[in-house]
Each structure stands twice: as structure tokens, then as C-alpha cells.
Chains A and B, each alone.
Chain A
Amino acid sequence: GAVVSQHPSRVICKSGTSVKIECRSLDFQATTMFWYRQFPKQSLMLMATSNEGSKATYEQGVEKDKFLINHASLTLSTLTVTSAHPEDSSFYICSAQRTSGRRDTQYFGPGTRLTVL
């Protein structure tokens, strides 16, 4: 149990285009999902928290108009990188939070490699 998928796994796009990444919890419902970014040789950096039915909460320094997040259902959150530029090239990883009693556990997707030319 606790499987999270991401689509696509890899995307290459031209500068100025928008890219949408989907994150799905396959076997559990997730009120809360998270989006991270990871640059080579670095740790994961939290970008935003996605809550079903409400606006996302962005970390300091993350532009909400550039990284649009929609948490349309309890199993799907999407991240859209708008007007992507080469500096947005990175590894984007989502996670979905499963709650059991007072215990919260995040399960991560396999990641999406974005390359902006």
C-alpha cells in the first residue's frame, strides 16, 4: 500500500512553455500533498503544500504565479510550471500524506525530471 505516482517521469520543453506534472495517490486518499524540488547533489526543498479544496501554501521564495498548484481531488494534485526557463530545470517530486490516528506519513512519487531548453 501507499503508492504515489507521477506523470510524466521526464519532460523536455522549450523556454517559455508551460508544463503540467500530475501526482496521484493510488491506494489511499490524501487531503494534503507536497511538492518538492531537488537540484543535483542537493537535498529536497519543499516548494508548496497542496490541500484538497483550498489554495496551496507556498514556501518563502517560491513564486505562486509561476508554480501553479491544483489539488482537485483526494487523489490528485497537479503542478504547472508556467513560462518555464532553463533555471527551472530540476527534479520535481511530490508526496502524499497518509494519516492514521495521530501518525502522519508522507509517501513520495518517483519524481519528474524537467529539462527546459
Chain B
Amino acid sequence: LAKTTQPISMDSYEGQEVNITCSHNNIATNDYITWYQQFPSQGPRFIIQGYKTKVTNEVASLFIPADRKSSTLSLPRVSLSDTAVYYCLVGDRPNTGFQKLVFGTGTRLLVSP
């Protein structure tokens, strides 16, 4: 089962800020939170990754509260090309030593003119 819960879809307009919140109530101490963007017929593209507080890069910001049970991806001033599916993922590291990612449904963002 996916360890995250996020809205199935969101609508926005060009130029607006979009915030997508993800719940991960059972996040483990060692888990990082990673967000990916996927366009149709393409592999997911890494957007941002964080552990706590706030992380910002040239594409987005990631806000993580102190309890780390949720996170919010913030996309400033979206454009039509930001229409995509956004996945929030928390790693699962079983005793094998590698980290598995279990994809949930993702959030389908539609940006309109």
C-alpha cells in the first residue's frame, strides 16, 4: 500500500500559485519526502526532496511541518505546461537495504488559460 494520500485532482489557472498537500501519517524517522512530475508517456521527473522545514529550488518549494506527517508542494505562477500528474512519495526501506517507492494515485493538475 502507498504510504501517502493526496488529492486526486486539482484545477488552476495560469499565473496562480498551486499548493498540493500530501499526507504521510506513518512516515519513518529515516524517510525523505520526494515529489515527482509526470507527463503522459514519459517517466516521472524529480521535482524536489526534503526531510523537514522548507526546501526551495528553481522549480518549486516544499513545506514540511515539524511532525512531518504531511508536506505541501508549492508551484509558483503555474503555466499550461505544468499540467501533469504530481506524485508525493515517501521511501520504504525494508531490511534489504534499498529504498522502495510505492506510488499512489498522484494528483492530476490541470492548468487552464
Contacts and interface: CB of A to CB of B under 8 A. Distances in A.
Interface in B79-103: 87, 91, 93, 96, 98-103
Interface stretch (B18-26, B28-36, B64-72): B28-36
A11 interface: no
Nearest to A105: B49
Given A43-B104, A57-B96, A97-B99, A105 B34 contact: yes
Contacts of A43: 87, 103-106
B46 A110 contact: no
B32 A111 contact: no
Contacts of B57: none
B36 A108 contact: yes
Given A111-B41, A113-B41, A46 B104 contact: no
A51 B104 CA distance: 24
A45 B44 CA distance: 13
A110 B39 CA distance: 10
Interface of B: 30, 32, 34, 36, 41-46, 49, 51, 87, 91, 93, 96, 98-106
Nearest to A33: B98
A117 interface: no
Interface in A91-114: 91, 93-95, 97, 102-111, 113
A49 B100 contact: yes
Contacts of A31: 98
Residue of A31, A36, A95, A104 ringed by the most chain B CB atoms within 10 A: A104
Interface string A33-75: 0101000000111100101000001000000000000000000
Given A43-B106, A105-B49, 19 more contacts: A4-B43, A34-B101, A36-B103, A43-B105, A46-B100, A46-B101, A93-B44, A94-B43, A95-B43, A103-B32, A106-B46, A106-B99, A107-B46, A108-B36, A108-B44, A110-B42, A110-B43, A111-B41, A111-B42
